[in-house]
Amino acid sequence: MEHISTQSTRLAWVDQLRGILFLMVILCHLRCPEEMRYVTDPVFLAGFFVLSGWLYKRKDFLTHLKGIFNTLLVPYFLYSIIISVWGCDKSINGFFDILLINFIGGGDSLWFIPCLILVQLMFSIYCTLDKTDKYLWLLLLLCTIAFFVVSFINGSTHLSRNADTALYCTGYFGLGYLIRMWNVTTNRNRAYGLIAAYIVLCIIAGVMGIGGGDVDLHNNRFPSSVTFLILSLLGSFAFLNCAPYVRTTAYFNQLGKYTLFAFPFHSYVFRAILKVLDKVELMNFYQDYFSICVIVVGLATGLVLIAIGGFLTKYCPLLMGKYKVIK
């Protein structure tokens, strides 16, 4: 097995943007105040797919398959085993039942990784078939249609590995790729203006009851499909353009390096923190000052994930997708 080195090609602002988006994920799952979710919900997952598309580089299909296997599929399988051991009833049959649910079905804590695998796989197939990007507009149109079809069904049916979600998230991925290909950028003032416009529109939509606050990409549920699509596209573009102008902080930069590991395990971390608060009888304080405390717990969750992620990267890189199992 060969170690995958990324230090020479990493962009600090990319890791920082991942870290910011992932803190939004943590706060969402901590059930932060609805007013906060007006702004976070439309962008935190769409932004990940747009950023992943922006980072995508054309290679031959076999090379992409190897990359998906080494950096996503191997960690996903290992995470499935860990979570299955954690949640089984201590019997061999119980372990394999949960392993099957987690690996084949994605599970509640694992769904994002197989969804990302499918998105990258579908986009790599597209790139193999259309070597000049002549029909990229058609791919984006089909993904938009898929979004409205899936949101119309509204979670009443659900494909394995969140394949239904992957159908339209391929569009977000393709958008990021298009932004990079066309070099669509703005200056600092316009980037900040886009962020301000996004926040204002999110608040207006939230107050009107058609914005964020009840978004669930896992189950394809949105208060308003049209509003979500507009806000998610605007927010993703705004954050992507603004990120290079924001001073890098160690916290978000480090958290952004470990988001693959953090996605399936962050809920276990913040539940442990909440249990500690309950043990030391601070839950009443947490609930009384919820708006502030939920941010503190979210930041603390990130710190724990950074510590564990750094340790695993050094001593068990296979878990972090840092080894080339297949060269």
Residues with Cβ within 8 Å of 262's Cβ and at least 6 positions away in sequence, in order, are 22, 255, 302, 305, 309
Residue 50 has pLDDT above 70, yes or no: yes
Beta partners for 324? 2
pLDDT tens digit sequence for 284-295: 999 999 999 999
* CA dihedral of 110, 312, 40, 72, whole degrees rounded to 10: -50
Of the candidates 248, 222, 171, 174, the residue with the CA atom closest to the CA atom of residue 13: 248
> So what's the pLDDT on residue 17?
97
Mean pLDDT of 89-114: 66
Residue 214 has pLDDT above 80, yes or no: no
Residue 116 has pLDDT above 70, yes or no: yes
Range of the domain at 124: 2-324
User: How many distinct structural domains can be found in the chain?
Assistant: 1
- State which H helix or E strand residue 323 sits in: strand 323-324
> So what's the pLDDT on residue 193?
95
For CA atoms 31, 267, 253, 115, give the dihedral sign: negative
> So what's the pLDDT on residue 92?
62
When pLDDT is cut at 50, 70 and 90, the band that residue 160 belongs to is low
Tokens standing for residue 108: 């509640």
> So what's the pLDDT on residue 151?
84
The answer to whether 120 and 72 are in contact (CB under 8 A) is yes
Q: For 253, left (φ over 0), alpha (ψ -120 to 50), or beta? A: alpha
When pLDDT is cut at 50, 70 and 90, the band that residue 5 belongs to is very low
When pLDDT is cut at 50, 70 and 90, the band that residue 11 belongs to is confident
How far is residue 188 CA from its own chain's centroid? 25
> So what's the pLDDT on residue 8?
40
Tokens standing for residue 305: 């994930």
- Distance, in Å, from the CA atom of 110 to the CA atom of 253, rounded to the nearest integer, reads 23
- Distance, in Å, from the CA atom of 322 to the CA atom of 133, rounded to the nearest integer, reads 30
Residue 268: count of CB within 10 angstroms of its CB? 14
Residue 6 has pLDDT above 80, yes or no: no
Mean pLDDT of 57-83: 90
Q: What is the mean pLDDT of the chain?
A: 87
Residue whose structure tokens are 């916290």? 251
Beta partners for 3? 323
When pLDDT is cut at 50, 70 and 90, the band that residue 164 belongs to is confident
- Distance, in Å, from the CA atom of 214 to the CA atom of 318, rounded to the nearest integer, reads 36
The answer to whether 251 and 19 are in contact (CB under 8 A) is yes
The percent of residues in the chain predicted with pLDDT above 70, rounded, is 87
Residue 197 has pLDDT above 60, yes or no: yes
pLDDT tens digit sequence for 255-266: 999 999 999 999
The amino acid at 50: V
- State which H helix or E strand residue 138 sits in: helix 136-153
Residue 223 has pLDDT above 80, yes or no: yes
Mean pLDDT of 208-227: 81
Beta partners for 216? 221
Residue 188: count of CB within 10 angstroms of its CB? 12
Residue 2 has pLDDT above 50, yes or no: no
Check residues 160 and 291 and name the one with the higher pLDDT: 291
The amino acid at 84: S
- Distance, in Å, from the CA atom of 309 to the CA atom of 265, rounded to the nearest integer, reads 11
Residue 114 has pLDDT above 60, yes or no: yes
Residue 324 has pLDDT above 60, yes or no: yes
Residue 90 has pLDDT above 60, yes or no: no
For CA atoms 49, 243, 20, 203, give the dihedral sign: negative
- Distance, in Å, from the CA atom of 98 to the CA atom of 101, rounded to the nearest integer, reads 5
Check residues 162 and 3 and name the one with the higher pLDDT: 162
Beta partners for 2? 324
Residue 1 has pLDDT above 50, yes or no: no
Of the candidates 223, 209, 269, the residue with the CA atom closest to the CA atom of residue 25: 269
